[in-house]
Structure 1
Amino acid sequence: MTVKVSHITHIDNLGSIVRQACLWSDAKRIELGLVNQNIGYSHIKQRRLARPVKVATGGTIVQYVPFNFCPRSVMLFVIHKGHLDYQGGQDRILHLISDTDTIRLTNQHCFFTDIHADLDYAEQIDDFSRITELDINRIINERYWQDFKEEKQAEFLAFESVPWATIQQIGVKTQAIANEVNALIHMAAHKPEVVVKPQWYY
């Protein structure tokens, strides 16, 4: 069963993603010296530097490109409210949409977790026949998630890089941002569909 997945990033990072023709993991991006507009918690990124991966090709979580199984993620809510490491709000955040099968065709070192991958007790699973165990429709895509915050943050992770060509859609909050995105990808060989989805935001 293939499942849609969503990676959020700031629009300021889109030009670099297109030029590099891929999404790099945080570890690889740092190794390559690429500048990035961070939108996440720095302390969580530090924890992910040390969190071991026991499936796929091993390493640590920071070596993998993370995706959620839904738009309007818990992290986007944090971004919307603002935190010490990023105060820019959600309006310029993009949802880069693909699916598990498309990414796995280009990267054999993938796995998923049943809850937030950063947690000690998250199960790391590389048997994709088990992806049906995730309750995507009733929990992960639920609009009100206070009672199952951890489950909503289940992750799909791909080792080191995800090709730009696997991104099928770019979800944005407003038509103004859609216009900016279309201008940024105008000359790209691969141009995902840009969709205005205010319901994917807070």
Structure 2
Amino acid sequence: MDMRRPSRQALIMHFTHVDNLPAILETGRIIADSAVGGRLVTEVGSVDIKASRRSRLVTCPPGGFVADYVPFYFAPRSPMMYRIARDHQAGKIGLYPDGDDPLVYLVSSVDRVHQAGLPWVVSDGNCASVLTRFSGSLDDLVSMVDWPLMREISWNNIPEDQDRMRRRMAELLVPREFPLELLAGYSVRTRARETQLRRLLRSAGIINPYVAVRPDWYYGYTRGEVRE
């Protein structure tokens, strides 16, 4: 059996705050953190994590730093989104306050990137970890990503496997920028966000886009709520 096909057909997903979409739609591309500058209206990422990605070397061609790439996860409900949702729930001061509800998934696939001839790099886990490896090989994409873990809802470390969280944060990294024409569609948490997103897309001249409402791709914690 050809093990490449399930991996090449795999969805990849980049999420951003809905406030950032007008600038993304205007430029027609997602721009890497190291070059996005003032076009980013609402920052949801941790300052410390962003800084570490600007100094973390990608150890295979085309090289550079992790922040020089547009990042995509292979599964929703990432550990990063969990932290965003929990910070919102706890009402932590000085951090992005609004949780995961305003976040929009921009969804593509490995196949779309590969067929477009874009360069890319895969990581086998959290790019901030010294354990994480990088490769630009399609064969390595099959073996480096923990595909069964990507299909699970729970990714927490367990006594017999203390590396699950790191592996769930595997990424497909596209250098510099990612053209929106390679997107398969968008996903949001609620019908209200769908209405807001469709209005933004229509204003940008994007007619009849694929937009899915996927609450199961989110945590949705609210202030003071306890949910396991």
| Global fold match (TM > 0.5) | yes
- What is the distance in 1 between the residues matched to 2:40 and 2:73? 23
1:1-202 matches, within 5 Å, as 1=5, 2=8, 3-30=10-37, 33-82=38-87, 84-106=94-116, 108-133=118-143, 134-136=145-147, 138-147=148-157, 148-190=164-206, 192-202=209-219
Asked whether the 8 Å contact 1:7–1:97 carries over to 2, the reply is: yes
Amino acid at match of 2:28: A
RMSD between aligned alpha carbons? Answer: 1.5
Per the TM alignment, residue 39 of structure 1 is displaced from its structure 2 partner at its CA by 0.7
Asked whether the 8 Å contact 1:107–1:162 carries over to 2, the reply is: no
SS of the aligned residue for 1:130 comes to helix
Identity across matched positions, percent: 27
- What is the distance in 1 between the residues matched to 2:62 and 2:205? 30
Per the TM alignment, residue 104 of structure 1 is displaced from its structure 2 partner at its CA by 3.4
Per the TM alignment, residue 38 of structure 1 is displaced from its structure 2 partner at its CA by 0.7
Amino acid at match of 1:55: C
TM-score by length of 1: 0.93
Asked whether the 8 Å contact 1:25–1:161 carries over to 2, the reply is: yes
Asked whether the 8 Å contact 1:25–1:159 carries over to 2, the reply is: yes
SS of the aligned residue for 2:202 comes to coil
Per the TM alignment, residue 62 of structure 1 is displaced from its structure 2 partner at its CA by 0.4
- What is the distance in 2 between the residues matched to 1:150 and 1:187? 39
SS of the aligned residue for 1:131 comes to helix
SS of the aligned residue for 2:96 comes to coil
TM-score by length of 2: 0.82
Asked whether the 8 Å contact 1:103–1:162 carries over to 2, the reply is: no
Asked whether the 8 Å contact 2:189–2:213 carries over to 1, the reply is: yes
Per the TM alignment, residue 190 of structure 1 is displaced from its structure 2 partner at its CA by 4.2
- What is the distance in 1 between the residues matched to 2:214 and 2:122? 26
- What is the distance in 2 between the residues matched to 1:141 and 1:36? 32
Deviation string 1:62-84 (CA, Å, 9 cap, x unpaired) is: 00000100111111111111164
SS of the aligned residue for 1:6 comes to strand
Amino acid at match of 1:5: I
SS of the aligned residue for 1:185 comes to helix
- What is the distance in 2 between the residues matched to 1:91 and 1:108? 31
